[in-house]
Amino acid sequence: MTLRPRTILHSTLTPFLYPRLLNHTTLAISFLSRRSFSSTCRCHQNDDPALASTTNPEHPQHEYTSAPFSDLRPILVAAGDGGNGCVSFLREKFVPNGPPNGGSGGAGGSIYIQAVYGETSLHKLGRQGVIKAGNGANGRGSNLSGKRGEDIVIRVPVGTAAEYPVYHHQSASQLLRHTHPTRIHLDLDKPTPQPILLVPGAPGGLGNPHFITPTLRRPKFATKGNKGAKMKLQLELKVLADVGLVGLPNAGKSSFLRAVSRRKARVGEWAFTTLTPNIGTVVMEDRDLSNYSGPEGEHIQPRFTIADIPGLIANAHMNKGLGHGFLRHVERARVLAFVVDLSRPDPLGDLESLWAEVIAYENGEDNPEGLGMMAEMGGDFVGEELEPEDLNPELKAKLEPEEGLVTYTGVPWNVPEDSDFDELPAGEAVRKREKMSTKPWFVIANKADVEGTEEKYWALKKHLEANSAAREVGLIPISALRQEGVDKAIDWMKFLLGF
Ligand SMILES: Nc1nc2c(ncn2[C@@H]2O[C@H](COP(=O)(O)OP(=O)(O)OP(=O)(O)O)[C@@H](O)[C@H]2O)c(=O)[nH]1
Ligand SMILES: [Mg+2]
């Protein structure tokens, strides 16, 4: 991504200041008003503002630029082939030329996807190579239809999004054109009790009795089953948390998480200590539990979750897109908590860079071609050519599904009428991203125990208030290290989450 100059950052920051906090005065953060800062400090400050020196020498940069965790998984799925139709005739004593009785082939198995609690990673899926459903069995004589192929249900963690490509006119069967008219983005952010159909199994061939006509009483042909469609799916696991911590490397996000939850997040003096997202849970012991229910409906102590993601960096010395990639983990957070390090030379500039990253991510700027996630991962359409059988028109008409006949329960999207399979509206090709800039947000000003940070805190506060319509600015000074002020940050989270 290209970095925006400072002046632009101002203009992107300003309109989003406290959009949901207007006129809010009840949560008076009185401790904010005249907090005296401790002057004794244990300094973990990094003098080099460019952060380069904070990089752990034992973890050279190329190690972390390769995004080591498996939250994006291209997988190849293949529906089962249809069994062939059978050519057979009744043969009995005294019935020398009996009527045709070839059974039809069984349909191939379908591929389904289901989001379940209990799965935590997409790791296993990646190792399976092609995930293939069973083939339908061939039809047999005596009108015995072939057995259906076995279905496959891909179980993924709740929070997985699946994206897959368009099927084009010539290459897809009628069936697929009905079920998959366009690129699909499926967001499995809740468990799905019923598996969702991804690729329907291919239809089986028809046995020879289907081709009886007034002039042809004993057809000596049947049709072959269709080949099962294959396609490449991009699965993406997004961490689901109520609050997302967004900050530069070393700002103290993991320290904050450690201070407020039982999560033992790794904390280090170097940038990029955190390479995979951590989720911490804050249990609100002061709340009455009767009003809250867990995923299975049972009453639980009210709680919320906080996601600590790897640090975001605006500097060009990182691979393009690395920082943005992690933002997907806070994309679905309900509240954004920006963590700034008051001990750095320009906390305001840092906050603005963070906003710039968020907005660049939201606008898809890490992906200039606008081709969406598939392009990012180098994925492409690998659907097999499903040539229509070379059949006479009468037979073709039989194979074409009748209007309104092909309805698949479990497909959660509507098939648009008259959809043009070859053309995609430009906007739809771009991966859908949630609007992050409209979420409620506040700022955690960390490392307030370090000497000389008080002035920076007030300067930052003044600047935010001057640029905001809100009366109270959620800028909470804390020391994650000493666990001071963190309760106030939690209060803000509770408030913004509506507790
Ligand atoms: N003085 C002081 N140091 C702190 C405070 N909070 C964190 N630190 C230190 O700052 C350094 C970075 O802390 P982390 O919690 O690992 O920072 P992070 O934001 O998670 O960093 P990444 O995971 O690399 O993005 C560590 O050396 C911490 O001990 C604080 O409140 N005061
Ligand atoms: Mg960390």
pLDDT tens for each residue of 273-306: 666 677 777 877 665 555 555 555 556 667 788 8
- Give the residues surrounding ligand 1 with Cβ less than 6 Å away: 42-44, 247, 249-255, 267-269, 271-274, 310-311, 446-447, 449-450, 479-481
**pLDDT tens digits for range 377-426:** 222 222 222 233 333 344 344 433 333 222 222 222 233 333 333 333 33
Asked if residue 33 has pLDDT above 50, the reply is no
Domains and CATH numbers, the chain: 6-69+239-367+434-497 (3.40.50.300), 72-237+370-429 (2.70.210.12)
Assess contact for 204 and 105: CB atoms under 8 A: yes
Q: Could you read off the pLDDT of 35-76 as tens digits, one per residue?
A: 333 222 222 223 334 344 344 444 443 333 333 344 677 788
Tell which one of 41, 481, 483 to mutate to probe ligand 1, the residue whose CB is within 8 A of the most ligand atoms. Answer: 481
Instruction: Tell me if 249 sits within 8 A of 33, measured CB to CB.
Output: no
- Higher-scoring residue by pLDDT: 409, 340: 340
Farthest CA pair distance, the chain: 110
Cβ contact 282:257 at 8 Å: no
State in Å: Cα 460 to ligand 1 middle: 20
Backbone angles phi, psi at 247, to 5 degrees: -165, 165
Counting ligands in written order, the one closest to the CA of 310 is 1
Residue in the block written with tokens 């990646």: 126
Listed residue (282, 312, 264) closest to 491, CA to CA: 282
- The answer to whether 469 touches 22, Cβ cutoff 8 Å, is yes
Distance separating alpha carbons of residues 451 and 449, to the nearest angstrom: 6
Nearest ligand atom owner, CA of 272: 1
Question: Does residue 310 have a pLDDT over 60?
Answer: yes
The per-residue pLDDT for 333 is: 84
Contacts of 378 by beta carbon, 8 Å cutoff, 6+ apart: none
**Dist CA 305 CA 116 (whole Å):** 19
- Copy the structure tokens of residue 180: 């998959």
Banded model confidence at residue 264, pLDDT cuts 50, 70, 90: low
Give the nearest ligand 1 atom to 450 CA.
Answer: 1
Q: What is the pLDDT of residue 123?
A: 72
Top pLDDT among 99 and 14 is at 99
Which two structure tokens, joined as six digits, stand for 163? 């994206």
Six-digit token pair at 451?
């000497």
1 pLDDT band, cuts 50/70/90, is very low
Ligand 1 atom showing the smallest separation from residue 479 Cα = 31
- Name the band, by pLDDT with cuts 50, 70 and 90, for residue 314: low
Q: Please indicate whether residue 150 or residue 424 has the higher confidence score (pLDDT).
A: 150
pLDDT at position 294 is 54
193, 180, 188: which is closest to 406 by C-alpha?
180
- pLDDT tens string 462-495: 888 887 765 566 889 999 988 888 888 998 888 8
Site to substitute for ligand 1 among 46, 250, 483, 484, most atoms within 8 A of C-beta: 250
User: In 3D, which of 233, 440, 246, 437 has the Cα closest to residue 329?
Assistant: 246
Lookup: tokens for 355: 């906003």
Q: Is the pLDDT of residue 370 over 90?
A: no
Q: Atom 12 in ligand 1: which residue has the minimum CA distance?
A: 250
Q: What percent of the chain has pLDDT over 70?
A: 55
Mean pLDDT of 153-172: 65
Predicted confidence (pLDDT) per residue in 179-221, tens digit: 555 566 778 877 888 888 888 888 899 998 898 888 888 888 8
249 pLDDT exceeds 70?
A: yes
User: 419-434: b or e for each residue (b if 16 or more CB lie within 10 Å)?
Assistant: eebeeeeeeebebeee
- Higher-confidence residue: 23 or 344? 344
Q: Are 429 and 371 in contact (CB under 8 A)?
A: yes
- For residue 57, the CA-to-ligand 1 centroid distance in Å is 17
The percentage of the chain sitting over the pLDDT mark of 90, rounded to a whole number, equals 10
Q: Taken in order 233, 234, 235, 240, is the CA torsion positive or negative? A: negative
Instruction: Transcribe 183-239 into DSSP letters.
Output: -EEEEE-S--SSPEEEEPPPPPPPPGGGG--SS-SS-----PPPPPPEEEEEEEE--
Report the chain's C-alpha Rg in angstroms: 29
Place of tokens 């809010």: 24
Q: In whole angstroms, what separates CA 258 from the centre of its chain?
A: 26
Separation CA 271–CA 315 (nearest Å) = 13
How far, in Å, CA of 132 to CA of 365, rounded?
A: 36
Neighbours of 197 (CB within 10 A): 20
State residue 443's pLDDT score.
92
Nearest alpha carbon, ligand 1 atom 30:
447
Q: DSSP 3-state assignment of 283?
A: strand
Spell 223-261 as b/e; 16+ CB within 10 A means b. Answer: bbbbbbbbbbbbbbbbbbbbbbbbbbbbbbbbbbbbbbb
Contacts of 380 (CB under 8 A, 6+ apart): 165, 232, 374
pLDDT value of residue 478: 92
pTM: 0.57
Closest CA to ligand 1's atom 32: 447
CA–CA separation, 279 and 262 (whole Å): 10
Average pLDDT over residues 360-388: 40
The predicted structure's pLDDT at residue 340:
94
Kindly tell me if the per-residue pLDDT of 362 is higher than 70: yes
